[in-house]
Amino acid sequence: MEHRLHEAYEDQQRKRFASTPPSSSSQRQRVEHQSSLQICYLEEPQQQEQHSGAQQHMSSCSAPPHQPASVPPSKPSTGYPCFKCGKTRHFSRTCRTRQKTPGSVPTDGEKKSVPKMGQLHYSQLEQVPESEPVLAGTFLVNDQPTVVLFDSRASFTFISKAYALKHGYEIIELKQKYHITAVGSSINTNHIVRDLPLQVGRESLFISPLVLPQLGIDVILGMEWLKQHNAMIDVGSRTVQLCLSSGTDVIIHVPLQEHVYHTVNVAEAHIEAQALAKIPIACEYPDVFPEELPGLPPDRDVEFRIDFVPGTAPLDKGFIRPSSSPWGCPALFVEKKDQGGKRLCVDYRPLNAVTVKNKYPLPHIDILFDQLGGATVFSKINLRSGYHQIKVREEDIPKIAFSTWYGLYDYLVMSFGLINASAFFMYLMNSVFMNELDKFVVVFIDDILIYSKNEKEHEEHLRIVLSRLREHKLYAKFSKCAFWLKEVAFLGYILSSKGVAVDPRKVEDVLNWKQPQTVTEIRSFLSLAGYYRRFIKDFSKIAKPMTALTQKNAKFA
């Protein structure tokens, strides 16, 4: 209705101007008041007959005495802004501004939005040469330690999709598309993460990075963001100078690239300390959650030992030492899944083949969970590098020597891969928590579960467990611990007051398992699926066809 009234008014004005000859004099007269900024506009008789010109205006104007001032001739005005663009001096029917109205059908050109073009030179830190004018360091983004690359050759600010998902950031879809050209490839994206605070000294600067799926760097601050803050990158002094909108100059000192991940660990330790301080009871035991193991473990009643089958012939933190042992097993490094970095793994199969097997039993999962009836509050604790908290008996140290390109070394602490390692560790943990087992503690190797019927009871139980760890100088990894939970994931199960359920993530692993092609793959699948056989009726009958394929001379269809 408003639109129609406006069109009718414009038609009336158009007809009036079409029938009125242009005037040589001004179409309007302006009255300027010297004592104020007040301006009065007066229409000539040719435009509106009911006015009698300047005299009528002067008699009716309430302003102090003044003389009317003329203005140059101008194009006819409708008196109202254009319905489409908001400007004056033309009608909406003749407006050249293209404007979509509700329900209108876009043209072919409007259907396809033109993507913005951008560049990305480095998607991995390893690609960045030292000679390039870019700097990489670790900063807190949304209170999370983040590897940030300052790169003026990158067009925009970017964030790794994997990193954004890991920290639960909301990924927003944009109508605008971006086409990013990288070295040897190109990437399309129309997703963004809005308003992440970047901590720079005492200042918090917000970034809204585009999300890239194949980015090996957490965050890249590109030219768009650097220009916004008038940034100057000094590679020589490894600094970035910013001039903020408030007029404040901020100088950022960026650590060397080889120290980036060390800085991440320091930042994580700082965040962990802040988080620990907020947890009741656990905050009273900060020494139980060190950033790293303090050194060699103390002498304990339990020491790892290796007894050979009869007839068998024979660094920085102090966990290993150079060796002259006649034994030597090959070693290699594998990637850690949880936090990056590498783990030293030794192939002890030759040693395990001649080792007397320790028969100390591991607890049965079903029996462990049968004691949880009535529990409503849970906490779980995971030890930090648990095996390294047990010394190896002195005379057995040469037996676990391992070889590298740099020489032969001895482990002074219990290593992964030794056949009796889990049995010795289980014996140690049962000895430490003997009085608490089957009451409010479940222990499975280096995982500890504390369960209670109510919060008051849980407070007492948690204090007892942490005191035991402190007493025996056993250390936990805070990032893998969780406290005061109503529901907890433990050993592949979900535990709550409702009972025991399968962890949905494990079910997803089973559903996504590729079709086995070999006997080894069949056994791996049956091992995973069989872990939850208590929830599967007639599991043996269902698995029988696959079990038959593991027999000798069985043929695959």
Strand pairing report for 402-404 and 447-452: unpaired
Q: pLDDT tens digit string along 427-436?
A: 999 999 999 9
User: What pLDDT score does 285 carry?
Assistant: 85
* Lowest-confidence region among 22-26, 181-185, 207-211, 460-464: 22-26
- Residues whose CB is less than 8 angstroms from the CB of residue 132 and which lie 6 or more positions away in sequence, other chains included: 235
User: What pLDDT score does 200 carry?
Assistant: 74
454 vs 43, more confident: 454
Residue ranges of the chain assigned to CATH 3.30.70.270: 320-502
User: What pLDDT score does 9 carry?
Assistant: 52
User: What is the average per-residue pLDDT within 444-458?
Assistant: 91
363 vs 211, more confident: 211
Q: pLDDT tens digit string along 342-387?
A: 667 788 888 888 888 888 877 777 777 778 878 899 999 999 888 8
Q: Phi, psi at residue 40, to the nearest 5°?
A: -110, 140
User: What pLDDT score does 190 carry?
Assistant: 92
Q: pLDDT tens digit string along 215-233?
A: 888 999 999 988 888 888 8
328 vs 472, more confident: 472
* Lowest-confidence region among 49-58, 366-375, 524-533: 49-58
Helix/strand/coil (H, E, C) string of 477-489? CHHHCEEEECEEE
Q: Is the separation of the CB atoms in 258 and 264 below 8 Å?
A: no
User: What pLDDT score does 502 carry?
Assistant: 77
User: What pLDDT score does 360 carry?
Assistant: 81
User: Burial code of 85-107, b = ≥16 C-beta within 10 A, e = fewer?
Assistant: eeeeebbbeeeeeeeeeeeeeee
Residue ranges of the chain assigned to CATH 2.40.70.10: 116-264
320-502 belongs to which homologous superfamily? Reverse transcriptase/Diguanylate cyclase domain (3.30.70.270)
User: What is the average per-residue pLDDT within 77-102?
Assistant: 59
User: What pLDDT score does 520 carry?
Assistant: 84
User: What pLDDT score does 381 carry?
Assistant: 92
Structure confidence at residue 525 as a pLDDT band (50, 70, 90): confident
* Lowest-confidence region among 125-134, 141-150, 449-458: 125-134
Highest average pLDDT, of 46-50, 260-264, 484-488, comes from 484-488
User: What is the average per-residue pLDDT within 37-48?
Assistant: 39
Pick the CATH number of 116-264 from 2.40.70.10, 1.10.260.40, 1.20.120.350, 3.10.105.10: 2.40.70.10
- Residues whose CB is less than 8 angstroms from the CB of residue 400 and which lie 6 or more positions away in sequence, other chains included: 306, 327, 329, 346, 348, 351, 392, 410, 411, 415, 418
User: What is the average per-residue pLDDT within 87-95?
Assistant: 67
User: What pLDDT score does 355 carry?
Assistant: 86
User: What is the average per-residue pLDDT within 123-145?
Assistant: 77
User: What pLDDT score does 209 carry?
Assistant: 94
Structure confidence at residue 5 as a pLDDT band (50, 70, 90): very low
Which of 298, 288, 294 is CA-nearest to residue 481? 288
Helix/strand/coil (H, E, C) string of 53-105? HHHHHHHHCCCCCCCEEECCCCCCCCCCCCCCCCCCCCCHHHCCCCCCCCCCC
391 DSSP 8-state letter: B
User: What pLDDT score does 11 carry?
Assistant: 62
Residue 459, classed as helix, strand or coil, is: helix
Structure confidence at residue 130 as a pLDDT band (50, 70, 90): low
**Number of C-beta neighbours around residue 369 at 10 A:** 19
509-514: Cβ within 8 A, 24+ apart: none
Residue 194, classed as helix, strand or coil, is: coil
- Residues whose CB is less than 8 angstroms from the CB of residue 128 and which lie 6 or more positions away in sequence, other chains included: 122, 134, 136, 149, 257
24 vs 195, more confident: 195
Residue 430, classed as helix, strand or coil, is: helix
Q: pLDDT tens digit string along 241-298?
A: 888 777 777 777 775 544 444 444 444 555 566 677 778 888 888 888 887 777 778 8
Please give the Cα distance from 416 to 392 (Å, whole number): 12
Mean pLDDT, the chain, rounded, equals: 74
CA angle 425, 427, 432 (to 5 degrees): 95
* Lowest-confidence region among 38-42, 135-139, 424-428: 38-42
User: What pLDDT score does 256 carry?
Assistant: 55
Please give the Cα distance from 531 to 510 (Å, whole number): 11
User: What pLDDT score does 72 carry?
Assistant: 47
Q: pLDDT tens digit string along 387-418?
A: 888 888 888 888 888 877 667 788 888 888 88
